[in-house]
Amino acid sequence: MRLAKRVQALSPSPTLAITAKAKELRAHGHDVIGLGAGEPDFNTPEHIIAAAERAMRAGHTKYTAAAGIPELRKAIAEKLRADNGLTYTPDQVTVTVGAKHALYNIFQVLVDPGDEVIIPTPYWVSYPEQVKLAEGVPVFVEGKEENGFKITPEQLEAAITDRTRAVILNSPSNPTGAVYTRDELAALAEVCVRRDIWIISDEIYEKLIYDGEHVSIASLGPEVYARTITVNGVSKPYSMTGWRIGYAAGPREVIRAMNDLSSHSTSNPTTPAQYAALEAITGPQDALEEMKRAFRQRRDWLIPALNAIPGITCQWPAGAFYAFANVREACEAGGFADADAWAEALLEEEKVAVVPGTGFGCPHHIRISYATSLEALQEAVARIRRFVERHS
Ligand code: PLP
């Protein structure tokens, strides 16, 4: 069968193979601990579910504007003002089917064939694939581990060519949890303004920061504001991954083009889910605070425990809910070529599923999600230690 070239070039999700294997082992009765999840282990707060139910009973079950319901766009604009110091009118906001869809539309709207998009590594798995779907060229810049997995302005500058269209920033980061400081963002912004490139700022983990503060790069001045598209959503802060509501805010022309694109593909994000998102953003925030406390407690236990295992080192993630551990020495000691082989053997022998870093651009790291119970993490770390000791 001949499929279009654009899908032939797509890489399948790197988490898929390990997840499929974990499922298979579970189906055979094995006690598998899954540390691969990219979503909170809490249910959506009750008041949000109730808002969706109310909306459906009130007849909000029909199409909406492609950009989303006006109440939600207004609430998002207000949130961006209050939390992020950003002034947007509702027509500068588009509601999308998750932040992933916002990012997809942005690349479709900004990137022409052959245009380059700078992606710092380690990166979230979908960025390069989405750039390729827009016929763009991903250009990787290494966020060095010794620099907390962050890129420097010098590195950014060196990667820019006359084909560069945009850079994508993700703070806090999936997979590393790294959070850029205000000064670091200002230095990157200066380069982008001077070299005239777009900034796509994926701020989906904004609310999950344990050390430091979140800064929206678009808030750092009018010139950077004019060339930034800020992306966010309700999936991670409100445990709403399945509701599929994200959003983007930026220059009117870009947002209008994104709306036009949505109008011919998704039409609108699911209507009751938009009402649920409205409640999430405007309603009580206690559940978020509670979830954040649990994540912090798990992180504080997990990172020292990982570092105590010979051959594994792990930096402190300042945000999100992932530990990105360097397993190079453990791989070498055990004769594993890379983290893929290491993670596969770990799953096989100890029934612990972690995501190898290859898909994030780092073949000697693993990503461990701590969006799981402390008990499960403790058992998983004991198993990882046993595995490493057996292979050293
Ligand atoms: N951006 C990053 C960095 C993510 O980790 C994710 C989800 O894993 C997303 C965007 C997409 O989130 P959603 O489409 O659920 O809003």
Tell me, in angstroms, the distance from the centre of ligand 1 to residue 96's CA: 12
Write down the pLDDT at residue 14: 67
Asked if 233 and 37 count as a contact pair (C-beta separation under 8 A), the reply is no
Ligand 1: list residues with CB < 6 Å: 38, 98-100, 124, 170, 174, 202, 204, 233, 235, 241, 246
Q: From atom 8 of ligand 1, which residue's Cα is the shortest distance away?
A: 38
Q: What does pLDDT average to in each consecutive run of 10 residues of the chain (392 residues)?
A: 88 74 90 90 96 98 98 98 98 98 98 98 95 97 97 98 98 97 98 98 98 97 98 97 97 98 98 98 96 97 98 97 97 95 95 93 94 96 97 92
Q: From atom 7 of ligand 1, which residue's Cα is the shortest distance away?
A: 38
CATH annotation of 47-282:
3.40.640.10
Q: From atom 12 of ligand 1, which residue's Cα is the shortest distance away?
A: 99
Burial class (CB in 10 A: 0-12, 13-18, 19+), 59: exposed
Q: Does a cis peptide bond (omega within 30 degrees of 0) precede residue 237?
A: no
Report the distance separating Cα 244 and Cα 374, nearest Å. 27
Write down the pLDDT at residue 18: 79
Write down the pLDDT at residue 239: 96
Domain ranges of the chain: 5-43+286-390, 47-282
Tell me, in angstroms, the distance from the centre of ligand 1 to residue 169's CA: 13
pTM score above 0.95:
yes
Neighbours of 282 (CB within 10 A): 16
Q: In the CATH hierarchy, which fold is given to the domain comprising 5-43+286-390? A: Aspartate Aminotransferase, domain 1 (3.90.1150)
Nearest CA-CA partner of 41 in 294, 267, 271, 268: 294
The sheet with strand 355-356 has its strands ordered as 313-314, 322-326, 365-369, 355-356
Neighbours of 108 (CB within 10 A): 17
